[in-house]
A and B are shown apart, each in its own frame.
Chain A
């Protein structure tokens, strides 16, 4: 277990230093090295330079660390080493902005915050870290010559700068729940709230980067940057922080990991050959784009046993001899609903590629989006299902036999973050948007009787409830509908209700969720929705965004509650 680290804390004054030392001793925590001062840039440099161990833990003076900090740090080091490689990371924090989605991830409890956060299985690469608690790989920093710039001082912006300097040295920064802590202070609210940018930091950013904005936990830092790079192409030495430093560093790290294999599976009944060709074209393009990223295999499951159809399919496949394509026959022929699971069952029966590969089931008529393939080394993980966005298209096909529709109308884009709403009775997971690690879903395939699930809906509902699902902001597949289909909304709604009822009832029978829990969650859902729309709730949400206002409100709450009860007729206490 790697737990050879030293805790460093910066306190504003010597009194704070003494108090911290006493506190850590009383709580039986590892003895920290506490320094007095207000310059975080110099503090980080000196901590890294003098650290006698491989790792350091930099801690704000208003952070409460857990008693088992040794185990948590060791856990975090292990996760970072496994994810990024032991020589490739510099800083791990408990809150920040992740590099793929640019979303805020927080595994820290700040003042005024309520529920505890979820935990992550692996650290997320970050483009910004909150400085409240930082695990530093001092060894890597020293080897790569990492240093905070000497021209910057103070406590503002250091958490963004350290991430930038890390990537410029080829080192990754990450966010990990193992470093959970309680942060009792609220930071420099005046600086952050006013969006003030110190001149030193502004100069630093403008000299190195072409970006007009930088995303941080406190919002966007926007600057009026020069745009010589657009006019005098090739002469501006500055680069984009995200596309020149972050993405290539991550791509380099993930490309050196063990190569992943993705099996693409689709089902056909031998009709609509042109759509099958379109799917194969998309795989061919994906193989060209992602050739350096993953290995691809393609499986076509023929949903009926017809030699003539099989021969025609084989002739089509022969035209794609640059792709490794296998044709199989489904063992269940239960109509459209059984496509997904019967395809997977066929794979299990005939051919399963070990325990380390991934399977992607693409509904008939759909196609994959090649642009997601270069990201596979980073986004596919054996412990999680990967869910990508879906782009809907409404199409019209003519009789030309060509593998492109004669007319296409782009529909909505379905955000993968909306998929996993199974807990409130809504299953919204499009089959073509999910990529499964094979070992994770082998168990999910079979129902309570040990038989293969009959319905794709039940299969997907099991995924929603049982598996960890990681969402990515890329379009995984195009899902295609018929432009000319009669839009009978009532029939469509009825069919959806029927499918949902069937899925959920089988679900309940399988013991995945007890009826009482399902009823309760539905009941809660309606109440929760009502509460979310209520004025008091929205008022509180707006209030909590301004932390200084919220703390004043808390003090005035007894008086405020009376006023709110009188004006808004609230019966229950918040």
Chain B
């Protein structure tokens, strides 16, 4: 049986219902794991205590931590990592997932057997996240942060998530930095989680969601991060072809320009130099043609 595992989950008050009715009960039923340290990271920064249940629930020990200021997904998990110092790996999970009873066991097996594996991603059900992966090796260009097992040594080496993303797409960036650092990123279908994401089930079509805005904004930021100004211009052109209101696009571009001012461009040179070695993996899904043109200097 695998040893204890540390789990991080970034939450606010509105997500606690699913944490208490789905996530924690499913963690309590995990097989092949002797104990789980669950860290609930209050990303709002407010002082309200979010979790009101027992600190010990079956094999799960629940801790609540708070940085004291609002933080994005990446910053929240970097803070949790620094606080809990998990080893040799830790699990990141969304608050609205129900984990299959063998999910953690399977993820840890894949990490142990894989050899220099940075991240192992679990399969989402009933709607699998649309992405490509090698069915034999499990290698995938990037892992979705909904449920991932992360190698602590790797996380330390690359200094965690890039906090400038705030939320969305930082999982893609972490995956790409894994490949550039000589690690592997795996998708492991036997590890399954049920994720009833709002995107498929409950999003209202007459409003925008944070996912759309930050995904759009971070799509352009990641294009800039890896392909420079040319990549950023490409990203903006792609965005403008989508059917968003003009005011929406203007806000997205303004936000990208703001984050660009805060980027340490020297640190990006390493990524951009080594891109050629991982050409097959570091590509914008569905926009490969743009990546190829950029790489060819077009």
Same assembly:
yes
Task: Please name all residues of chain A whose beta carbon is closer than 8 Å to the beta carbon of B21 when the two chains form the complex.
Answer: 288-289, 291
Asked if B206 and A407 sit within 8 Å, CB to CB, the answer is: no
Asked if A211 and B207 sit within 8 Å, CB to CB, the answer is: yes
Interface residues on A, range: 35 or more
Asked if B44 and A234 sit within 8 Å, CB to CB, the answer is: yes
Q: Closest approach, in angstroms, between the C-beta of A460 and any C-beta of chain B?
A: 24
Beta-carbon nearest neighbor of A214 in chain B: B206
B290 is an interface residue with CB less than 8 A from chain A: no
Beta-carbon nearest neighbor of B102 in chain A: A402
Asked if B247 and A233 sit within 8 Å, CB to CB, the answer is: no
Asked if A230 and B196 sit within 8 Å, CB to CB, the answer is: no
Which one of A288, A291, A403 contacts B98 once the chains associate, using CB atoms below 8 Å? Answer: A288
| Residues A286-345 near B (CB distance < 8 A) | 288-289, 291
Task: Please name all residues of chain A whose beta carbon is closer than 8 Å to the beta carbon of B206 when the two chains form the complex.
Answer: 211-215, 240-242
| Residues A388-410 near B (CB distance < 8 A) | 391, 393, 400, 402-404, 406-408, 410
Asked if B247 and A225 sit within 8 Å, CB to CB, the answer is: yes
Tell me the bound Cα distance from A530 to B194 in angstroms. 46
A4 is an interface residue with CB less than 8 A from chain B: no
Task: Please name all residues of chain B whose beta carbon is closer than 8 Å to the beta carbon of A402 when the two chains form the complex.
Answer: 100, 102, 190
Task: Please name all residues of chain B whose beta carbon is closer than 8 Å to the beta carbon of A403 when the two chains form the complex.
Answer: 100-101
Interface mask (B202-216 → A, CB under 8 Å = 1, otherwise 0):
101111111011100
Asked if B204 and A240 sit within 8 Å, CB to CB, the answer is: yes
Q: Closest approach, in angstroms, between the C-beta of A374 and any C-beta of chain B?
A: 9
Task: Please name all residues of chain B whose beta carbon is closer than 8 Å to the beta carbon of A242 when the two chains form the complex.
Answer: 204, 206-207
Task: Please name all residues of chain B whose beta carbon is closer than 8 Å to the beta carbon of A407 when the two chains form the complex.
Answer: 189
Beta-carbon nearest neighbor of B247 in chain A: A224
Tell me the bound Cα distance from A338 to B123 in angstroms. 35
B82 is an interface residue with CB less than 8 A from chain A: no
Tell me the bound Cα distance from A370 to B209 in angstroms. 23
Task: Please name all residues of chain B whose beta carbon is closer than 8 Å to the beta carbon of A391 when the two chains form the complex.
Answer: 126
B201 is an interface residue with CB less than 8 A from chain A: yes
Task: Please name all residues of chain A whose beta carbon is closer than 8 Å to the beta carbon of B100 when the two chains form the complex.
Answer: 281, 402-404
Knowing A225-B245, A234-B44, say if A393 contacts B189 (CB, 8 Å). Answer: no
Task: Please name all residues of chain A whose beta carbon is closer than 8 Å to the beta carbon of B127 when the two chains form the complex.
Answer: 410
Knowing A243-B207, A370-B196, A404-B192, say if A212 contacts B201 (CB, 8 Å). Answer: no
Task: Please name all residues of chain A whose beta carbon is closer than 8 Å to the beta carbon of B210 when the two chains form the complex.
Answer: 230, 233
A371 is an interface residue with CB less than 8 A from chain B: yes
Task: Please name all residues of chain A whose beta carbon is closer than 8 Å to the beta carbon of B101 when the two chains form the complex.
Answer: 403
B25 is an interface residue with CB less than 8 A from chain A: yes
Asked if A371 and B125 sit within 8 Å, CB to CB, the answer is: no
Tell me the bound Cα distance from A285 to B96 in angstroms. 11
Contacts across chains A and B counted by CB atoms under 8 Å: 93
Asked if B22 and A289 sit within 8 Å, CB to CB, the answer is: yes
Asked if B126 and A227 sit within 8 Å, CB to CB, the answer is: no
A226 is an interface residue with CB less than 8 A from chain B: yes
Beta-carbon nearest neighbor of B72 in chain A: A233
A210 is an interface residue with CB less than 8 A from chain B: yes
Q: Closest approach, in angstroms, between the C-beta of B125 and any C-beta of chain A?
A: 7
Interface mask (A437-450 → B, CB under 8 Å = 1, otherwise 0):
00000000000000
| Residues B245-273 near A (CB distance < 8 A) | 245-248, 251, 255
Which one of B189, B192, B246 contacts A224 once the chains associate, using CB atoms below 8 Å? Answer: B246
Tell me the bound Cα distance from A171 to B47 in angstroms. 34
Asked if A410 and B190 sit within 8 Å, CB to CB, the answer is: no
Task: Please name all residues of chain A whose beta carbon is closer than 8 Å to the beta carbon of B192 when the two chains form the complex.
Answer: 404
Task: Please name all residues of chain B whose beta carbon is closer than 8 Å to the beta carbon of A226 when the two chains form the complex.
Answer: 247
Knowing A210-B207, A211-B206, A370-B196, say if A227 contacts B98 (CB, 8 Å). Answer: no
Asked if B204 and A230 sit within 8 Å, CB to CB, the answer is: no
B15 is an interface residue with CB less than 8 A from chain A: no
Tell me the bound Cα distance from A288 to B97 in angstroms. 12
Tell me the bound Cα distance from A370 to B189 in angstroms. 21
Knowing A231-B251, A393-B126, A410-B127, say if A371 contacts B196 (CB, 8 Å). Answer: yes
Q: Closest approach, in angstroms, between the C-beta of B195 and any C-beta of chain A?
A: 11
Beta-carbon nearest neighbor of A215 in chain B: B206
Asked if B207 and A371 sit within 8 Å, CB to CB, the answer is: no
Q: Closest approach, in angstroms, between the C-beta of B267 and any C-beta of chain A?
A: 25
Asked if A478 and B98 sit within 8 Å, CB to CB, the answer is: no
Beta-carbon nearest neighbor of A233 in chain B: B210
Beta-carbon nearest neighbor of A403 in chain B: B100
Which one of B22, B128, B209 contacts A285 once the chains associate, using CB atoms below 8 Å? Answer: B22
Task: Please name all residues of chain B whose beta carbon is closer than 8 Å to the beta carbon of A400 when the two chains form the complex.
Answer: 190
A369 is an interface residue with CB less than 8 A from chain B: yes
Task: Please name all residues of chain A whose beta carbon is closer than 8 Å to the beta carbon of B190 when the two chains form the complex.
Answer: 400, 402, 404, 406
Beta-carbon nearest neighbor of A230 in chain B: B213
Task: Please name all residues of chain B whose beta carbon is closer than 8 Å to the beta carbon of A222 when the two chains form the complex.
Answer: 245
Q: Closest approach, in angstroms, between the C-beta of A483 and any C-beta of chain B?
A: 13
Asked if A224 and B245 sit within 8 Å, CB to CB, the answer is: yes
Interface mask (B194-238 → A, CB under 8 Å = 1, otherwise 0):
101000011011111110111000000000000000000000000
Task: Please name all residues of chain B whose beta carbon is closer than 8 Å to the beta carbon of A478 when the two chains form the complex.
Answer: 126
Asked if B126 and A231 sit within 8 Å, CB to CB, the answer is: no
Tell me the bound Cα distance from A240 to B248 in angstroms. 16
Q: Closest approach, in angstroms, between the C-beta of A250 and any C-beta of chain B?
A: 14
Asked if B194 and A285 sit within 8 Å, CB to CB, the answer is: yes
Asked if B25 and A288 sit within 8 Å, CB to CB, the answer is: yes
Knowing A227-B247, A230-B213, say if A404 contacts B125 (CB, 8 Å). Answer: yes
Asked if B207 and A212 sit within 8 Å, CB to CB, the answer is: yes
Q: Closest approach, in angstroms, between the C-beta of A60 and any C-beta of chain B?
A: 27
Task: Please name all residues of chain A whose beta carbon is closer than 8 Å to the beta carbon of B25 when the two chains form the complex.
Answer: 288
Tell me the bound Cα distance from A393 to B128 in angstroms. 11
Tell me the bound Cα distance from A367 to B210 in angstroms. 31
Task: Please name all residues of chain A whose beta carbon is closer than 8 Å to the beta carbon of B208 when the two chains form the complex.
Answer: 210, 212, 227, 230
Task: Please name all residues of chain A whose beta carbon is closer than 8 Å to the beta carbon of B22 when the two chains form the complex.
Answer: 285, 288-289
Tell me the bound Cα distance from A281 to B125 in angstroms. 12
Task: Please name all residues of chain B whose beta carbon is closer than 8 Å to the beta carbon of A215 when the two chains form the complex.
Answer: 206
| Residues B161-216 near A (CB distance < 8 A) | 189-190, 192, 194, 196, 201-202, 204-210, 212-214
Beta-carbon nearest neighbor of B25 in chain A: A288
Q: Closest approach, in angstroms, between the C-beta of B60 and any C-beta of chain A?
A: 15
Q: Closest approach, in angstroms, between the C-beta of B39 and any C-beta of chain A?
A: 22
Tell me the bound Cα distance from A95 to B21 in angstroms. 39
| Residues A57-114 near B (CB distance < 8 A) | 102
Task: Please name all residues of chain B whose beta carbon is closer than 8 Å to the beta carbon of A233 when the two chains form the complex.
Answer: 70, 210
Task: Please name all residues of chain A whose beta carbon is closer than 8 Å to the beta carbon of B102 when the two chains form the complex.
Answer: 402
Q: Closest approach, in angstroms, between the C-beta of B26 and any C-beta of chain A?
A: 8
Task: Please name all residues of chain B whose beta carbon is closer than 8 Å to the beta carbon of A240 when the two chains form the complex.
Answer: 204, 206-207
Tell me the bound Cα distance from A241 to B206 in angstroms. 9
Tell me the bound Cα distance from A487 to B220 in angstroms. 44
Tell me the bound Cα distance from A215 to B207 in angstroms. 11
Task: Please name all residues of chain A whose beta carbon is closer than 8 Å to the beta carbon of B248 when the two chains form the complex.
Answer: 212, 224, 227
Task: Please name all residues of chain A whose beta carbon is closer than 8 Å to the beta carbon of B128 when the two chains form the complex.
Answer: 408, 410
Beta-carbon nearest neighbor of A370 in chain B: B196
Task: Please name all residues of chain B whose beta carbon is closer than 8 Å to the beta carbon of A231 when the two chains form the complex.
Answer: 213, 251, 255
Task: Please name all residues of chain B whose beta carbon is closer than 8 Å to the beta carbon of A408 when the two chains form the complex.
Answer: 125-126, 128
Interface mask (A12-55 → B, CB under 8 Å = 1, otherwise 0):
00000000000000000000000000000000000000000000
Task: Please name all residues of chain A whose beta carbon is closer than 8 Å to the beta carbon of B189 when the two chains form the complex.
Answer: 406-407
Contacts beyond the supplied A212-B207, A233-B210, A369-B126: 13 A-B pairs with Cβ under 8 Å: A210-B207, A212-B248, A224-B247, A224-B248, A226-B247, A227-B208, A227-B251, A230-B209, A242-B204, A242-B206, A285-B194, A393-B126, A410-B128
For this complex, 18 residue pairs linking A to B, each with C-beta atoms less than 8 Å apart, are A211-B207, A212-B208, A224-B245, A231-B255, A233-B70, A240-B206, A241-B206, A242-B206, A243-B207, A281-B100, A285-B22, A288-B21, A288-B25, A289-B21, A289-B22, A370-B194, A408-B128, A478-B126
The 10 closest A-B CB pairs, nearest first, are A230-B213, A288-B21, A404-B192, A371-B201, A213-B206, A224-B245, A224-B247, A211-B207, A240-B207, A211-B206
